[in-house]
Amino acid sequence: MTQPPAHTNRLIHESSPYLKQHAHNPVDWYPWGPEALQRARELDRPIFLSIGYSACHWCHVMEHESFENEEIGQLLNDHFISIKVDREERPDLDQIYMSAVQLLTRQGGWPMSVFLATDLKPFYGGTYYPPDDRYGRPGFKRLLLAIADAWKNRRAELVEQAGQIAQGIQESMQVPGGVGDLTPVLLQNAGRQLGRAFDSVHGGFGSAPKFPHAVELRLLLRVWQRFGDEQAVDMVRLTLDKMALGGMYDHLGGGFHRYSTDERWLAPHFEKMLYDNALLTQAYLEAYQATGSPFYRRVVEETLDYVLREMTSPAGAFYSTQDADSEGVEGKFYVWTQAEVDQVLGADAAKVFCAVYDVTPHGNWEGHSILFRSRSDEQEAKLLKIDVTVLQQQLTEARRKLLAVRGQRIWPGRDEKIITSWNGLMIAAFAEAAAVLEQPRYAEAARHAAEFLLTKMRAPNGRLLRTASVGGAAKLNAYLEDYAYLGNALVSLYEATFETRWLEAALQLSDVMLEQFWDEAEGGFFFTSQDHEALIARVKDVHDHSTPSGNSMAVTMLLRLARLTGRAQLHERAEQTLRFAKVLLEKSSMAAGQMLVALDFLLGPTQEFAVVGDPAHGETRRVLRALRGTFRPNRVLALKTLGGTEEKVVALLLDKPAQGIVTTYICENFACQAPLVGAEAVENCLRLRK
C-alpha cells in the first residue's frame, strides 16, 4: 500500500507542474502572492525566493539535495518565508531578481536563490547551492544559518545592502537614448559583429556551450540579401547544417534540444523548449526560401510534426517543455548502445545506420551514443558506395523502427503549462510554414491554437492572460511579450489564410499594448502593464535572451500591421521604439537580433503585394506560390476575394479592382506599379526583380 506523503504545502493547489513538484517538500513553501508577503511582514522574517522551471536539471538536483532534506526544510521554516516561483509564469520577477544575482555574482542561472528583505529588496543571492560545502560553493545549510544570524544581529547592514542592490537594478535597466538616424549601417555593423563571433569550423557563435541563436541567423540572411554579403549566408548555412546534423537535433523524433554543451553540437542539454523549436523552424524555413535546400525543408517538417505529435494539447494549444531527464538520468531517453541498435535493425541495416550516425561500441558520450552526423546524405552515399536514394530510404526505415522502440521507454516529464507568448511563437512558425510549404494541416494547427488563446486565455474584459494548465482556468496578467508575440503571429496567420478575423484580433491586441505598456515619456514599452502588481522596478524588455525581447516583437508586429491596415500611429510607435533602442543596435547585435530584423523591415524597401482573385483557383495559387516561395522578408501580402469586402480591415486592398481571374498589385516606396493580370505576368515580374 502506498504511503501518503509526509508533507504537503500550499503548492499542491498551484497549476504549474514545476510548483507542484515541490508540493511535498518539508519546506513550507508559499507561491508568490499577498499571503506570503504579508506573512513575512507579520513575522518580521526575510524571504527566501527560489525561482526555476520544470525542465531545469540543476533545479531538480537542488530540490533533491536540499528541499527534500528535513533538516534544511526545518531551517527554512524556522527562519524564513520561503516562496517558490515558476520563471515561465512570472518572467517579471525573474528579470528583476536575476539582475540582482548578476550584480552580486557576475553570473546568473537557475535555480535562482535570492534572499529579500520584507520590502522585497534583495540583499543576497546566487544560483545552485549544494547542501554542504563543495564545488567551491558554500553549503546551503551554512548559508541559511549565516543569513538568519545576520538578519537578527546585523539587520542594518542587510537593509543598506538591499537598498544599494535595488538602486543597481534600476540603473542596470536604464536604456541610454540613441541619437542620429536609423540607417543600413547598423545592419552592416551587426553582420560584422556576428562574423567576429562566428566559429568557422563548427558553425554557431562563440565556444561551448553553444546556443542556436536562431534570430541572429535570420538577421544574417537579411544582411546577405541587402548587401550581397556571401559570407553572411555562408555562416547561416554552416550553422544550420551542423546543428541539424549534430546531436542537438533529435534525428528520430524531430525537433531540437536546448543547446549544445560542446562546440561541435554533439552533446546537447536534452530538454526541449517550445520556443526554441518555433524560432528554429522559422530560421530553417527562411533558409529554405533563400537556398531551396530540401534538407532545410525536411528539418522544418520534422520539427513541426514533432510538435503536433508530442507538444500539442487536445484543445489545440501547445505545451511548454520536455525535461532533459528520464528516470533521473539526463538524456537517457535519447541515447543508444550499438547492441540496442543491432537488436532493433538487424546486422546489415545496423551497420549502415551506425556508420552514418556515429554509433560505436564505446559510444561518443558517457558510454552511450548520441545520434550524430558529420556528413550529408550525398557524402555518406559516396563513402558507402550506395545510391543516395537507396541510402535515404534505408535510413528513413531505420529511424522509424528505432523511434517506435524508443517510444516504449520511460518518457521525460512534460510541462503541460500553456504560455501565451510561447504559443504565439509556435503559431507564427506553423502559419509561415503552411504558406511557404503549402501545407493546410499546418494552417489548421495555427488556427486551433490561436482560437484557444483568443477564447480561453483572456479575462472577461478581453485582456490577455499569461498561462493556464490543461483543463484549468487561465491566470496572471499577460506581459508585453504575450501581446507582441501573439499579435505578430496573428498577422502571419492572416497572411497564410487571408481570414481578416486574425488581423482584427491583432489590432485589438495592439490597442491594449499601446494603452497599457507604452511609455509616453521616453518611448518604448514596459514589460508589465500599467495595472500590474507593483514591484521594486518596472523594466523595459529590450535585450533578446532565449527568446526575442518584448519590445523587438512589438516593433515587428506594429510595422507589419501598419503596412496592411494603413494605421500610421502603429508605424510611428514602432519607429520611436527603434530609436529608443538605437544604442543597443549599435553596440550589441547579439542581444538585439529581432530588433535589427525589425529595423531591416522599417528601412525597406517593403514590398506590398495585393492579390485579387479566388484563392482556390489554380491561377491564384500560382501567384501565391511565386510570392511566397522565395526569400522576401520585407513584404506583406493581402488577398481580396472577387466581390469581397476585405478592404474594410485591410487598407492595402482599397481601390484594387479585379481585371481578370487573378490580378496582382505590387507597391513599393509609396507607389504602385501597373496591375499584373494572370500568374505568368507575376512570375516574369518577380524573375526580373531578383
- Its pTM surpasses 0.85: yes
* E-strand stretches of 251-320: 259-260, 268-269, 272-273
**Domain assignment of residue 466, yes or no:** yes
Residue linked to cell 504545502 = 9
E-only strand ranges, 32-72: 47-52
Boundary residue ending a domain (603, 625, 647): 603
- The CATH number for 279's domain is 1.50.10.10
* Cell representation of residue 668: 513599393
Side chain identity at residue 618, one-letter code: G
On whether both 338 and 323 belong to a single domain, the answer is: no
Last residue of a domain, one of 603, 631, 655: 603
**Cα–Cα distance measured from residue 113 to residue 339, given in angstroms and rounded to the nearest whole number:** 43
Q: Are residues 244 and 365 in the same domain?
A: no
DSSP letters for 663-678: EEEEEETTEEPPPEES
645-677 pLDDT, tens digit per residue, is 999 999 999 999 999 999 999 998 778 889 999
Pair (509, 371) in one structural domain = no
CATH number for the domain harbouring residue 660: 3.40.30
Same domain, 308 and 357: no
Domain finish residue from 362, 378, 408:
408
Are residues 120 and 194 both part of a single domain? no
**Residue that has been written with the C-alpha cell 534600476 in this structure:** 170
In this structure, are 59 and 158 located in the same domain? yes
- Measured distance CA(358)–CA(363) in Å, rounded: 8
What backbone phi and psi angles, to 5 degrees, belong to 589?
-60, -30
Q: Where are the beta strands (DSSP E) in 54-185?
A: 81-86, 112-116, 122-126
CATH code of the domain in which 78 resides: 3.40.30.10
Q: Which domain holds residue 365?
A: 334-408
In-domain check, residue 2: no
Task: State pLDDT tens for residues 90-147.
Answer: 999 999 999 999 999 988 899 999 999 999 999 999 999 999 988 778 899 999 999 9
Grid cell, residue 667, equals: 507597391
Helices 568-580 and 500-517: crossing angle, nearest 10°?
A: 50
pLDDT along the chain (690 residues), means of 10: 78 94 97 97 97 89 95 97 97 95 91 96 95 87 96 95 93 76 96 97 95 97 97 98 98 97 96 97 98 97 98 97 91 97 97 98 97 96 95 97 98 96 98 98 98 96 94 94 98 98 98 97 95 93 94 98 96 96 91 97 96 96 96 96 92 93 90 91 85
Please tell me whether residues 223 and 265 are part of one structural domain: yes
339 in the same domain as 322:
no
**For 258-290, what is each residue's pLDDT tens digit?**
999 999 999 999 999 999 999 999 999 999 999
Please state whether beta strands 259-260 and 676-677 pair in parallel, antiparallel, or not at all (unpaired). Answer: unpaired
**511 located within any domain:** yes
